[in-house]
Each structure stands twice: as C-alpha cells, then as structure tokens.
Structure 1
Amino acid sequence: MPTSRRTITILAITGAVAVIAVVAAVVLLVGQAPEPPGRGTKIVASDLSKAADAATRAADGSPEQAAAKYLSAQPTAVWLTPEGDPTDVVGERIAGLAAEARDQSARIAVVVYGLPERDCGGHSAGGLDGDAYLEWTRAIGDALHEAADTSPLVILEPDSLALAPECGNVDERVEQLSAAIETLAGDSTWIYVDGGHSNWLAPAEMADLIDSVDRASRGDGERGIRGFVTNVSNFQATDDEVAYAHDVAGRLDGLHAIIDTGRSGAGSNGEWCNPPGRLVGEPGGTIGDDVVDTNLWIKPPGESDGDCNGGPAAGQWWPEAAVELTRDVVAD
C-alpha cells in the first residue's frame, strides 16, 4: 500500500523534531553563543569599588555614608589602569571580577585606560609606552578569555579618539587602538571604542575616526569591535546621546553604541570637570534599541574628574560630589 500524504507529513514533522532536539542537545553541551549587550544587561557591582570602601570609612549615619552605600550597590564599570593594575596583577583582578560577576549572575564591564600619552597630558595623564601597552593589553585579553563565560564588555580608552584631532596624533592613536583590539578580541568579548559625546565632535568627524580604527583592526579578517561608547565621564542628557549615537552609527557599517548615563541625570552645564549641580542618571541596562545596545554607568559617580572645581586628583573618591550626585535618590 502506498504511503499517504498524512503519513509523510507526520514522518517529516517527527524528523524535524528529532533534528531540533539534537541541535538543542549540542547547544547545551557546547554552551549558547554569547549574546551582545542589550536592554536588561546587568554588570557586576564590585565589592572592591571606591564607593564600597568609602561606605566603610564614612561616619555611621552620615550623608557621605548613605551616598557611598547607594553608589556601591549600583552596577558600574571597573577601570583598569597600568598604575593601579600593572601587567603582573591585572589578570588576577579580572579573575576576581569574574568571580563576583558569577555570584551576581552579571557580566564584567572593564574600562581599559593606559595607552601612551594618555589624556594628552591632561588631568588623567599617564599610560605606558608602546611595547609595554601591548604587553598589558595582552594580559587583559588573556584574562578576559578565561572569563569568557561572563561575556565581558570592554570600553577601550575613553577620549582617545575624540581628543586625537586636538592633540594632533590621529594616525598614532588609530595604530595603537587597532593593535590593542587585536590583543583584547575574543569570541565572547564585546569591545567599544571611544565615540566622544554629542557636544564635542560633529557626527561625521567622529564616525570617520571610528571607521579608521575599525578598518585598521580587522584588516582582511573579522571585525574586532562591537561599536563605540559615548558620554564617558561626561554629563550630556541621554536623549541627546541617543540621537548622536544614531547619527554616528548611520555613517558606519553595522556598528552599535553604548551610552554612559552614570552622571547624566541633570544634563550638562557646559563644563566637563567636576561641574556642580549634576545628578546620577538612568540605571544601567534600562534603555536600548536597534543602534544603542544599552546604557551603563561607566565613569563611577563620586570619583573626581581632576583637580578642578574643588575636586581632588582624577579618580580619587570625593565624598561631597557623591552626596550631591545622589541628592534626589538618597533619603536625608
């Protein structure tokens, strides 16, 4: 008796289900493909942050302690510098962050900040020479590979590209950043290069700089970056940054963006170094669309921008700033 169409259909469905089951089993065995950041992304809130340390040192019940406690609980990127995390210890630092991330069911987000002539001699001057910088970033890349299960995010050298035209070192920066990308890249690592902010370079100029790094870093191979990051250590309003990111990305080929909203709550007054009257912005992972992967807190609120407007040296904890930034979210 010939096989009926109904029987053939049933056999086809049964076979398809079997194939799906096999594929699902393989995925479970080898692990799911890493997901890019998006709305709902949660990064680690490290117990070793300066905010956490400040919370233990401040007087009990003081506004400084309340602000520090609040900020220490917020998922915030961790800055890696050669001064604080040299080549021989940076791997251990990342391993510790990975352990914290696993405990919190979160991801690592690190800022790599140590390239030669960093900040063009400004408030955050420093960094390594060329060979030492590559050795340092290679150590970071190796450690991130070991932490691949946390699907790390890397913010690579804030201000490096947007500042380059002013510093007159565009070609040098492109070469340095593209080489660093090669040492940091991994199948589960998502790298974002500097994208300035909406009140700095014009979108076309910023896109050209990003495109130069993108092309140099991939050569004839696969793309090494996910995209670019805007508003790092700045105060621009989130809506302005979203519009800017779309404008910049529209001039590039498939790159995405992340926005720093750590201190964007009151927008900008035009100053970039410890401006008064600012507020923390939207919590990380609360926005996202087809261009903007999501927002994160990247510059830790409460840490100084530099010796300006009454602040201490760049990166140092400033209790008064922490209190001011959190005045709308921390009860008196």
Structure 2
Amino acid sequence: MRSPALTPVETRTSPPSGRRRLAIGAAVGFACVVGALVGPAALASAAGSSYRLSGASLHRNRGHVAAVRDRGAGGARALALGKGAIATGSFSLPGPALGVRVRARAGRCAARPILSLGFDGARPLRLKLSLRRFRDQQLLVLLDHGAHVVKLSVARGGAACRQAVLIDRLVFVPASPTPSGSNPVAAAPLWVNPDTSAARQAQAWRDSRPADAAQMDKIASQPQATWFGHWNDTVRSDVAAVVDRAAEAGRLPILVAYDLPYLDCGGFSSGGASSASAYQSWIRSFAAGIGDRRAVVILEPDALPEWDCLSAEQRASYISLLSDAIAVLTAHPGVALYLDAGNSAWQPADEMARRLTQVGAQRARGFALNVSNFQTTESSLAYGKQVSALLGGAHFVVDTSRNGNGPPAGNAWCNPPDRALGARPTARTDDPTADAYVWIKSPGESDGPCNGGPDAGVWWPDYALGLAQRAAY
C-alpha cells in the first residue's frame, strides 16, 4: 500500500590511511577545542571561552604531519596534513556534544581536497575544503561525555603534496541543557537530497519547459524521507551514505525502515524480509549505518494499522520484531524514532493506541501519521492528539506531502486524481505534541499500477506536476 522511494543512494569508501600520529591530551571546559599544537603549548578555545587544551604532543611516523605558521589561523599556527597522512587526537568532553565545527582550508598544492574525520572508530565524515581561506563548517555528530579519539586524514590531494590540508581547530558544540520533551526534529534543518527524481526532472525541463520546471522545483527544494527495504542489498552502507551526506551538510535526514515480512499484505508494495531472523539482521544493519549520527527514523509504514490481514501467529511475530527494532534503534541516542500509526481514516484512536502499546512504542519518541496518504493536516492533528492522550502525551509527526486538497471521495489511496502538495516540512506546528510536518512520501512516486500509474515507487512526472500545480503556493 505504501510506495517506497527508490532514489539511488551514493556509497562512500573510507579514505586512505597513513602512519604519522598527533596525540592530543585535553583538559577542557564546556566547549572543547582541538587545535594544531606542538609540545606543551596551549590554545584558547573559540567563541571567547577561557577553556584551554593542555599537554599536547606530536608523534611522528610516515606521512607528513606538521605544525606550520599561518597568519589566518588562531594563534598563527595550523596543522598541515599531507596526502596519506593521519593525525589522531585524544580528548575528553565534560558533557555531550551535538556537533563539531571544523575550521580548515586547502593547502597550496591540492585543489579542493577532502578532509576525513572519524570519531571513536566510527565511519568517517568527509568535508570538501575551500582554497586558500579558512572557513568554519559544521558537522552533526553525537558524542557523549568522557574520552574520545578523533582521526583526521586527507582523502584527496596531490600525490606529493606535503600541505594538502591545513587545520586551524575543531570546536565541539555542546548539547544545551533542555527538557526531556524537547523536539528532536527541530535540532537542525532537515536534509534536502539534491539528487531526487524531482530535481532531475526539473533540470531536464529547465530549457524546454521552464514553467513546468519551476513547478517541479516546489518538490525538489523540500526535504523528503529516504526509504530503505528489501531492494537495498547493502543496507548498512546505503544508510550510512545518506546519513554521511546529511551530516556533511549540517542537516538532519529522515529515514524510513520498511522491510518487515508479509509487507503490505501482498499489495502493490509487497516484499520484505524472508524471515524473522532475516529482519532482525536487517534492522541491525540499518541502525549500524546511522551509527552515532542524528537521524529521524519512521519505522515500518502500515505494519500496525494493517495487521488485520495477518494470522494470529504473524501478528505475534510483528509484535516481537517491532519491539526488538525499537530496542535496537533507541540504543542509538541520535535517533528520533516514530512508529507508523496509519491515518485518521483508518483505525480508531483507541485501537491504534493499543497496538502501539503492545509493541512498546513508549520507548520511542512517538508515532507517525498520514504516511503516503491524503488526510488533511487538521484531521491528522485531531487524531494524533487523541492517540497521544491515550499514550500519556507521546509526540507525533504528520506526512503532509500530498494532502493539500485533502482525501478523495471514498478515501481512495492509490494515485487518486486532483490531489495537491501539502504544507512544506516544518517543525513549527499547531500543537505541542506534534513535532513536525514532514514529507515521508516522495511526491510524484507512484502508489502502484492504478489510475494510469506505473509500479509502486516508480517516478511519474505527470502526476508530480499535477501535485505541484495544484499546491496553494
């Protein structure tokens, strides 16, 4: 019944490694800065803080790592990394950090090198650096208080370049003390994938159909969820590729996990894992792809509202598998988890709350409504507040991607005509329990081979164009 987005994802490989190491022992205050230091020198932290690093020392091996004079850097000193070199820094945080600001630039002999940063052995993040000028770039990374290790290397640069990258400092952004109920979707802007089907369509029409291209931009310019399921043979690396790109942009991705056995009760989006054990392995790989980064996760659209088609044994398996998936995903502190709870025209609120309780949804952030459907935002909010009250105040998100004209007659769900884009994604909603309006369904991807549409998940430009043309903006 749901139609997953089949946008290809980019995979990344780990950068090359060298053998020269920079060890930094840090005693820091609330803001922690790792700088280019040699010997016992100390460097003041950024933003006017009085906290300092101390006890820095440089350990040399093969590859080029050296402190150099640079008037553009703080203290007029920067750390130079050559192609193939590695610098590692040990530091300790007094409290959790939600990001890191990297101040670095390209050296004299490498055009637009890529700096690779890995924390505590996790998959590295990558930054393209500007030429000749230091610039701050922020990455989303979740680090708990205590000891950590950062590894820096140059993923692209001239083969003989001894100063491919110059690093001024890393500033770790502390997590502000906030109430436990703070909105995780508002933690950072949502990620806009620049390579969606809508973006490619707009580009293809730019010269020959400029008015239609401008309509398509209404879709391409908005953040949308990326779906993962049985079509992802390498789900861990596929998820990591998306989360990497979002983190490098300083933005928050929305991911959909969609691989339970017996998907869609044999409907247009059927498929899923071949067994319970296969699903447990899959969801662990999915979570591993996120690692310690931040992401919004929508868990298994249709699973709870549509399980009436299942046998008692299959429903029991769903309860077990979803409960396990919640435990796996919530073990990653950067994940904001929402279980799919259908829409306002499907299950009664008390029945939906009962099913959410059965799988242990109280351990998640909340639930998701109207995924791939057309119910109005107003009816979704009213329904969401009912379910929330029955669950003791759980939060929820609403898919507004195609609800601009509300539901069609008879609540038809498969490519109904005359629909429109809904409210743009935002964390500013009309209710304190509604965390965000989001686009979980990618507008323009077919619900299935009905009403003239292609197979589920296949891009349908004419339908996308109609959604955009009928939007209220």
Please tell me whether the aligned partners of residues 38 and 288 of structure 1 are also in contact (alpha carbons under 8 angstroms). no
CA distance in structure 2 between the partners assigned to 1:38 and 1:133 by the alignment: 27
Q: Which residue of 1 aligns with 2:278?
A: 132
Q: Which residue of 2 aligns with 1:277?
A: 418
Look up the equivalent residue of 1:292 and give its one-letter code. Answer: A
Question: Residue deviations 1:190-236, cap 9 Å, x none?
Answer: 11111111111100001000011116xxxxxxx53111100000000
CA distance in structure 1 between the partners assigned to 2:430 and 2:284 by the alignment: 31
Structure showing the higher strand proportion among its residues? 2
**What does residue range 19-34 of structure 1 map to in structure 2 within 5 Å?**
26-27=94-95, 30=145, 31-32=174-175
Q: Which residue of 2 aligns with 1:119?
A: 264
* 2:439 alignment partner, one of 297, 300, 314: 297
Q: TM-score, normalised by structure 2?
A: 0.59
Give the secondary-structure state (helix, strand or coil) at the position aligned to 1:326.
Answer: helix
CA distance in structure 2 between the partners assigned to 1:288 and 1:315 by the alignment: 31
**What does residue range 166-177 of structure 1 map to in structure 2 within 5 Å?**
166-168=309-311, 169-177=314-322
Call closer, same or farther: CA 1:181–1:40 in 2, change over 3 Å.
Answer: closer
**What does residue range 201-216 of structure 1 map to in structure 2 within 5 Å?**
201-214=347-360
Aligned-pair CA distance for 1:180: 1.8
Q: Which residue of 1 aligns with 2:304?
A: 161
* 2:196 alignment partner, one of 21, 26, 49: 49
Q: Which residue of 2 aligns with 1:187?
A: 333
Aligned-pair CA distance for 1:272: 0.7
Which structure has the greater CA radius of gyration? 2
Look up the equivalent residue of 2:436 and give its one-letter code. Answer: T
Look up the equivalent residue of 2:379 and give its one-letter code. Answer: D
Give the secondary-structure state (helix, strand or coil) at the position aligned to 1:246.
Answer: helix
Answer yes or no: is 1:316 the counterpart of 2:458.
Answer: yes
Q: Which residue of 2 aligns with 1:92?
A: 237
Question: Residue deviations 1:168-203, cap 9 Å, x none?
Answer: 443222112112222222111111111111111100
Q: Which residue of 1 aligns with 2:295?
A: 152
Answer yes or no: is 1:261 the counterpart of 2:400.
Answer: yes
How many matched pairs?
Answer: 298
Identity of aligned residues (%): 34
Look up the equivalent residue of 1:271 and give its one-letter code. Answer: A
Give the secondary-structure state (helix, strand or coil) at the position aligned to 1:190.
Answer: strand
CA distance in structure 1 between the partners assigned to 2:458 and 2:452 by the alignment: 12
Look up the equivalent residue of 1:312 and give its one-letter code. Answer: P
Give the secondary-structure state (helix, strand or coil) at the position aligned to 1:75.
Answer: coil
Call closer, same or farther: CA 1:114–1:67 in 2, change over 3 Å.
Answer: farther
Q: Which residue of 2 aligns with 1:107?
A: 252
Look up the equivalent residue of 1:75 and give its one-letter code. Answer: P
Answer yes or no: is 1:199 the counterpart of 2:345.
Answer: yes
Please tell me whether the aligned partners of residues 45 and 73 of structure 1 are also in contact (alpha carbons under 8 angstroms). yes
CA distance in structure 2 between the partners assigned to 1:187 and 1:40 by the alignment: 13
CA distance in structure 2 between the partners assigned to 1:296 and 1:41 by the alignment: 14
Greater relative contact order: 1 or 2 (C-alpha under 8 angstroms, separation 6 or more)? 1
Aligned-pair CA distance for 1:22: 5.6
Please tell me whether the aligned partners of residues 260 and 298 of structure 1 are also in contact (alpha carbons under 8 angstroms). yes
Q: Which residue of 2 aligns with 1:326?
A: 468
Aligned-pair CA distance for 1:92: 2.4
Give the secondary-structure state (helix, strand or coil) at the position aligned to 2:200.
Answer: helix
Q: Which residue of 2 aligns with 1:243?
A: 382
CA distance in structure 1 between the partners assigned to 2:322 and 2:225 by the alignment: 20
Give the secondary-structure state (helix, strand or coil) at the position aligned to 1:250.
Answer: helix
Q: Which residue of 1 aligns with 2:224?
A: 76
Call closer, same or farther: CA 1:104–1:70 in 2, change over 3 Å.
Answer: farther
CA distance in structure 2 between the partners assigned to 1:23 and 1:292 by the alignment: 32
Structure showing the higher helix proportion among its residues? 1
Aligned-pair CA distance for 1:135: 1.2
Please tell me whether the aligned partners of residues 381 and 431 of structure 2 are also in contact (alpha carbons under 8 angstroms). no
Question: Residue deviations 1:68-105, cap 9 Å, x none?
Answer: 3331221011111221x22xx22222232223323433
CA distance in structure 2 between the partners assigned to 1:58 and 1:175 by the alignment: 48
* 2:373 alignment partner, one of 234, 245, 249: 234
Aligned-residue Cα RMSD (Å) equals 2.5
Give the secondary-structure state (helix, strand or coil) at the position aligned to 2:436.
Answer: strand
Aligned-pair CA distance for 1:32: 1.4
Question: Residue deviations 1:147-173, cap 9 Å, x none?
Answer: x1xx21100010110001243443222
Please tell me whether the aligned partners of residues 404 and 472 of structure 2 are also in contact (alpha carbons under 8 angstroms). no
Q: TM-score, normalised by structure 1?
A: 0.82
Question: Residue deviations 1:109-155, cap 9 Å, x none?
Answer: 10011111110100100011222211111111111124x1xx21100
Please tell me whether the aligned partners of residues 80 and 111 of structure 1 are also in contact (alpha carbons under 8 angstroms). yes
